[in-house]
Amino acid sequence: MIGFQFVAGGGVLGRDLRWKTCDREYGRARFFEKKNKAVRSFGFEPVKCSLTAGKTAYADVKLPENPNLRRGTLPNGFEYNILPNDSPSGRFEAHLEVFAGSTVEDEDQQGIAHVVEHVAYMGSEKRERLLSGTGASTNAHTDFHHTVFFAACPTYIPRTGRSSMVMALDALLDVMEAKIEPARVEKERAAILSEMLMVNTIEYRVECQLLASLHAENVIPNRFPIGLEEQIKAWTADDVKRFHRTHYRPNNAVLYVAGDFDSVDKVEEEIVKKFSNLKNYPIEKDVAKGTLKETRSRHFPAVVHDWSNLITPLDAPTDVRLFRHELLSSFSLHVYAKNPLQEVKTMSNFR
């Protein structure tokens, strides 16, 4: 949206470069000399700059990455990220992101990504075991583009003193290896139909209308994650299993583990041991080249957007939509300008 931009990170280095960039060579050199100690205190190495014609050469330098971050990719394509962080102490979180949201659903699958979320995690015995007397909490959510499962746990189980990392990773592994049985599907189907009734408020309907207007040119208005009731009632366990087999693949998922744990090496060893045996089954999904979906998920159909033209004449035709409902008690006007997100990867991007 015009006028709004969120930039994550920065620290002392990012803030000062944005606020205090100098035009004079002398002032700039003194600035970087003064800030190097502060930058190192955040765990980063200062960006090295050359001073030529009063301009710094940091434009193409990548933004600094936390030196404690451990990244890896298993032979089957499964990606993982491990970041030690002792605040708060004695806690860690593990998040599994699967790039399968509602926009990958076919016409007869509207809502099935959400069903798979419930069956794979909410119905998991390993998840229930993790929750039993450990002080852990878990949840999951499905949106248009991905499904995320998480576990927030104490580093050690209070009653036994054993690490809960293995149990948390087992629960997330169970998502990828879910046993999709008829009884499990029926139980979660009932929960989803109940959830559908709870969210069907006038506020939710207005939100659906706003998103439908903003994304009228693509599939999003016809793929709200909650799905269609008549289809949810009709699916069999085989239907759910087919969607899971297609999208819950190691090369279509990323694991994030962050928190207070004893050893990054031990966490990585557990991840490698547990997730290396996952298999990628053949699929028949075409992906448009050069799209976000191609780079982040090889198995998504592309979601195409019509971006706003900022030089469109004021008297040009405008798409106006009206939503009325007897439960609405007020009037609101929404004006949109739809523009692509700009990547922030280098110092010049950040400026």
- pLDDT of 289 over the 90 cut: no
- Which residue reads 């301009």 in tokens? 55
Q: Which residue's structure tokens are 């087919």? A: 242
Q: Which residue has the higher pLDDT, 56 or 116?
A: 116
What percentage of the chain reaches a pLDDT higher than 70?
A: 75
As a whole number, mean pLDDT of residues 32-46 equals 52
Is residue 186 part of the annotated active site? The answer reads: no
Q: Looking at beta carbons, which pairs linking 335-338 to residues 24 or more positions away fall under 8 Å?
A: 336/1, 336/213, 336/214, 336/308, 337/1, 337/2, 337/308, 337/310, 338/1, 338/214, 338/305, 338/306, 338/307, 338/308
Let me know if 117 is a catalytic residue.
Answer: yes
pTM: 0.78
Q: What is the DSSP string of 320-338?
A: ------TT--S--------
In 3D, which of 128, 69, 44 has the Cα closest to residue 257?
Answer: 69
**Which pLDDT tens digit goes with each residue over 127-140?**
999 998 889 999 99
What is the per-residue pLDDT for 321? Answer: 84
**Cβ 99 vs Cβ 253: under 8 Å:** yes
Q: What is the mean pLDDT of residues 177-190?
A: 94
Spell out the alpha helix ranges (H) of the chain. Answer: 11-20, 25-41, 112-117, 125-131, 165-176, 182-199, 202-214, 229-234, 237-247, 264-275, 292-296, 347-350
Determine which one of 188, 207, 229, 270 is catalytic.
188
pLDDT of residue 68: 94
Name residue 259's beta-bridge partners.
84, 92
CA-based radius of gyration for the chain: 24
User: Cβ(351)–Cβ(18) under 8 Å?
Assistant: yes
pLDDT at 295: 57
Cα gap 226→211, rounded to integer Å? 14
- Residue 79: phi, psi to the nearest 5? -100, 150
Q: Among the options 45, 105, 107, 117, which is catalytic?
A: 117
**Tens of pLDDT along 236-272?**
999 999 999 988 999 899 999 999 998 999 999 999 9
Q: Which residue has the higher pLDDT, 116 or 62?
A: 116
Q: Calculate mean pLDDT across residues 146-173.
A: 93
Q: What is the pLDDT of residue 18?
A: 32
Q: What is the pLDDT of residue 294?
A: 54
Confidence of residue 40 (pLDDT cuts 50, 70, 90): low
